[in-house]
């Protein structure tokens, strides 16, 4: 109970997200109509991605301070789950955009910037796989990971705000748009963000435990 | 097994509360104007879907998929935990 309470929380929040997200009252908005409910599924992918990549970068820094196998494994697994969330975010965003903005890809600044951000992280995976030596791989990819995260933040949160964007909260409009402040949306949105993020952390947890086991197995054999 | 019991109870409670919640028509109370021309009531929403459009079937299907994936993850988690225990011994 001590160690896995957050996993139960993740399950409860996700079930609440689906039930509440489909059945709760939502504001009536032109163009968006019922698709506003995507707020509970598309946006948490990006919030989750940022938080999980933050975990990744923290463990990369920890690795550079104290080079243990564990720090390296968690940094790598978190980066991979973060990439998964980012890909899901971009795909769900494209699906949503097709029916509200008219096109899957309309070269919106935030769309382009998030695509660049994801490419930077794809390069991280490629870079990692190009080293045969474990310590070299861990150290260089940890350094790269810090730069990748530092590039991602302005790409997602600063550059799209400097120009006109179809995304809410951009184009000189700081923070959330007025409809995001609707309390009915908030009631599901915040639990949704927490639930999806916890699910991602759960996957990181299982995967890194598995990798650690595999590493120990190789050590003993 | 404790985990599963807790999960089952939670699913039941959430399902029950969601089922009991009356789905009423939206009152025309909006403080924010989104468009100068369209009145709130003119905006198409899935109002009839909630009455007779079987939206609850979709919710049940979504829940089935979500719970299926979550149970899979839980089983994977336990598998790794068992391996960890074996490794210690």
Write the pLDDT tens digit of every residue in A62-91.
Answer: 999 999 999 999 999 999 999 999 999 999
Of A11, A16, A28, the CB nearest to B43: A28
* Residue A62 CA from chain centroid, whole number: 21
Residues 6+ apart with CB under 8 A from A147: none
User: Which of chain A's residues have a Cβ under 8 Å away from the Cβ of B15?
Assistant: 19
What pTM was estimated for this model as a whole? Answer: 0.80
Q: What is the mean pLDDT of residues B34-42?
A: 57
* Residues belonging to chain A with any Cβ–Cβ distance to chain B shorter than 8 Å: 1, 4, 7-8, 11-12, 14-16, 18-20, 22-23, 25-30, 33-34, 178-179, 182, 199, 202-203, 205-206, 209-210, 213, 216-217
Instruction: Considering only the C-alpha atoms of chain B, give the largest distance between any 2 of them, rounded to a whole number of Å.
Output: 72
Q: Is the pLDDT confidence value at B87 over 60?
A: yes
Closest CA to B68 of B27, B7, B6: B7
**In the block, which residue shows the tokens 């390069």?**
A123
d(CA B30, CA B41): 11
d(CA A79, CA A121): 8
Q: Which two tokens stand for residue B88?
A: 């210690």
d(CA A50, CA B2): 33
Distance from CA of A174 to the nearest CA of B (A): 18
- CA pseudo-torsion sign A41, A47, A50, A53: negative
Helix (H, G, I), strand (E, B) or coil at A106: coil
Contacts of A120-123 spanning 24+ positions with Cβ under 8 A: A120/A148, A120/A151, A120/A152, A121/A53, A121/A79, A121/A82, A121/A83, A121/A86, A121/A148, A121/A152, A122/A83, A123/A148
User: Which of chain A's residues have a Cβ under 8 Å away from the Cβ of B55?
Assistant: 22-23
Distance from CA of B12 to the nearest CA of A (A): 11
pLDDT at B51: 67
Most B CBs within 10 Å, among A4, A14, A29, A180, to test the B interface: A29
Q: Is the pLDDT confidence value at B23 over 70?
A: no
- Tens digit of pLDDT for each residue in A23-51? 888 887 777 778 888 889 999 999 999 99
User: Which of chain A's residues have a Cβ under 8 Å away from the Cβ of B43?
Assistant: 28-30, 33
- Tens digit of pLDDT for each residue in A100-147? 888 999 998 899 999 999 999 999 999 999 999 999 999 999 999 999
Closest CA to A22 of A201, A191, A188: A188
Distance from CA of B80 to the nearest CA of A (A): 6
d(CA A21, CA B83): 37
Residue environment code for A163-193, b if the CB has 16+ CB neighbours within 10 A, otherwise e: eebbbbebeeeeeeeebeebeebeebbebbb
Q: What ipTM did this prediction achieve?
A: 0.77
pLDDT at B29: 43
Q: What is the mean pLDDT of chain A?
A: 89
Q: Is the pLDDT confidence value at B40 over 80?
A: no
| Confidence band of B61 (pLDDT split at 50, 70, 90) | confident
Closest CA to A134 of A83, A78, A70: A70
Of B10, B32, B74, the CB nearest to A12: B10
Q: Is the pLDDT confidence value at B30 over 50?
A: no
Percent of residues, chain A, with pLDDT higher than 70: 94
pLDDT at B33: 46
Q: Is the pLDDT confidence value at A158 over 60?
A: yes
* Contact indicator for A17, A188 with CB cutoff of 8 Å: yes
| Confidence band of B22 (pLDDT split at 50, 70, 90) | very low
- Within 10 angstroms of residue A36's Cβ, the number of other Cβ atoms is 21
Q: Is the pLDDT confidence value at A178 over 50?
A: yes
d(CA A205, CA A216): 17
For the ranges A75-84, B13-22, B54-63, which has the lowest average pLDDT? Answer: B13-22
pLDDT at B8: 65
Of A11, A178, A179, the CB nearest to B7: A11
- Within 10 angstroms of residue B50's Cβ, the number of other Cβ atoms is 17
d(CA A50, CA A89): 11
- Tens digit of pLDDT for each residue in A185-205? 888 999 999 999 999 999 999
d(CA A89, CA A156): 13
Q: Is the pLDDT confidence value at A154 over 90?
A: yes
Q: Which two tokens stand for residue A61?
A: 């820094």
Higher pLDDT, B5 or A97: A97
């Amino acid at each position: 109970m001590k160690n896995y309470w957050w996993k139960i929380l993740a399950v409860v929040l996700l079930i609440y997200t689906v039930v509440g997200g489909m059945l709760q009252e939502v504001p009536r908005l032109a163009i968006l109509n019922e698709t506003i409910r995507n707020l509970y599924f598309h946006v948490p992918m990006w919030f989750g991605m940022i938080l999980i990549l933050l975990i990744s970068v923290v463990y990369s820094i920890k690795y550079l301070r104290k080079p243990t196998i564990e720090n390296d494994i968690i940094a790598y697994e978190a980066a991979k789950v973060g990439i998964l969330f980012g890909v899901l975010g971009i795909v769900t965003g494209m699906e949503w955009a097709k029916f509200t903005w008219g096109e899957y890809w309309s070269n919106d600044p935030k769309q382009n910037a998030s695509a660049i951000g994801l490419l930077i992280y794809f390069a991280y995976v490629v870079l990692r796989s190009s080293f045969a030596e474990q310590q070299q791989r861990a150290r260089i990819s940890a350094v790269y990971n810090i730069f990748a995260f530092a590039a991602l933040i302005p790409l997602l949160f600063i550059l799209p705000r400097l120009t006109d964007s179809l995304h809410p909260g951009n184009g000189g409009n700081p923070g959330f748009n007025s409809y995001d402040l609707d309390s009915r949306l908030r009631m599901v949105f915040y639990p949704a963000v927490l639930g999806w993020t916890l699910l991602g952390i759960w996957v990181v947890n299982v995967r890194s435990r598995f990798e650690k086991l595999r590493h120990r197995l190789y050590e003993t054999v | 097994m404790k985990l599963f019991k807790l999960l089952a109870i939670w699913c039941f409670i959430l399902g029950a509360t969601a089922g009991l919640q009356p789905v009423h028509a939206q009152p025309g109370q909006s403080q924010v104007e989104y468009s100068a021309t369209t009145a709130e009531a003119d905006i198409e929403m899935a109002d009839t879907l909630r009455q007779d459009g079987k939206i609850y079937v979709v919710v049940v299907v979504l829940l089935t998929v979500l719970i299926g994936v979550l149970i899979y993850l839980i089983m994977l988690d336990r598998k790794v935990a068992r391996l960890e225990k074996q490794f210690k011994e």
